[in-house]
Structure 1
């Protein structure tokens, strides 16, 4: 199970009115994903990056049956819920909380926000989709009320089938998220400059670099 380790950066809570929760990928670290903040207009944000135990949020592919990734998957989702509660406890409202994840972290980001749909500041999924051997609609509740969401991926990607990206975007849009989906031909399993530019414009457009 995941122990709660969250690396903090950016503006101090108490001063910040916005927060960005950054979720690393398999084999990555909280420090790695925090490095992305240098390329985003988030200097006024408090940054929170939880660290997965053993650098992975769940053991198998996100396309495995959810029970096969337990208890790690539920533990990871519970940890994110705690981080959101911690952010709210500092006085930052849900609509000023943003999420960003890459790869396994992008899958976890999408799974978490869709299980707890609300008006958030925005969400970024660099190469990810909703988790499971199929999409379990019954897990998803709430209303995004226009929350901007960016999902970018390569076609093909070695870990994330583009069909799951399309299906995930459709679910979020049906729950009233403002979804921007970008599919990049043969990009590889990485984050492109175009994705960064898109996210700066679409998700963080109210903030200065």
Structure 2
């Protein structure tokens, strides 16, 4: 089953300079983060917002990448396979190579981005208020640059989860840019500038 997604073409109406894929959080859906596209001021890029495959147990319109109600993360393996196939098909459907694609996400979407992004030669990975739901093993290829942003007062995902992700990816040899803000479980305007700079550094 292919992932549903929302695609926003470049404002320039020219072929995209690159792709920015953003995965929503637990209980949200593909529409949740689409407002970021104009706010990031990256008119040459195509934005893609995939929708998680599972219905959320409480939110009628919400979706989940995997279950968080129980400790075994039910559905994670199925989602990993689906996201892997979908990422592998992106170049054929968009004409943009993975080397010009950035994979990011918020909260559970950030965890998925860090998880799946390890296996692909992407331009970069972004985790916003995310965490690790896996124990990364060393891989036989270099990892993409990583941007990790988190709120010091995050009541949903403790800031220690971001620090752990930073440490693990650094140990695996990734180039990690890490920033904490005085905020909760959210994306503040000052975060957008960081994302924009990271994208432009990864794809000059």
TM-score (norm 2): 0.82
Of 105, 109, 114, 1:110 maps to 114
Q: Which residue of 1 aligns with 2:82?
A: 79
* Aligned-partner Cα distance in 1 for 2:166–2:77: 22
Residue pair 2:106, 2:128 contacting (<8 A) in 1 also: yes
Residue pair 2:123, 2:202 contacting (<8 A) in 1 also: no
The CA RMSD measured in Å over matched residues stands at 2.7
Gapped runs of 5+ residues in structure 1? none
Q: Which residue of 2 aligns with 1:21?
A: 21
- Residues 1:99 and 1:206: Cα distance change in structure 2 (over 3 Å): closer
- Residues 1:82 and 1:11: Cα distance change in structure 2 (over 3 Å): farther
Q: What is the Cα deviation at residue 4 of structure 1?
A: 2.3
How many aligned positions are there? 194
Gapped runs of 5+ residues in structure 2? 56-62
Q: Quick check: 1:196 aligned with 2:192?
A: yes
Q: What is the Cα deviation at residue 206 of structure 1?
A: 6.9
* Aligned-partner Cα distance in 2 for 1:60–1:21: 23
Residue pair 1:148, 1:202 contacting (<8 A) in 2 also: no
* Aligned-partner Cα distance in 2 for 1:207–1:124: 14
Q: What is the Cα deviation at residue 178 of structure 1?
A: 1.8
* Aligned-partner Cα distance in 2 for 1:142–1:151: 23
Q: Which residue of 2 aligns with 1:126?
A: 128
Instruction: Point out the structure with the larger helix share.
Output: 1
* Aligned-partner Cα distance in 1 for 2:186–2:178: 16
Q: Quick check: 1:141 aligned with 2:149?
A: no
- Residues 1:3 and 1:59: Cα distance change in structure 2 (over 3 Å): farther
SS in structure 2 opposite 1:109?
helix
Residue pair 2:124, 2:202 contacting (<8 A) in 1 also: no
TM-score (norm 1): 0.80
More off after superposition, 40-49 vs 150-159: 40-49
* Aligned-partner Cα distance in 2 for 1:30–1:69: 21
Runs of 4+ in 1 over 6 A off after TM superposition: none
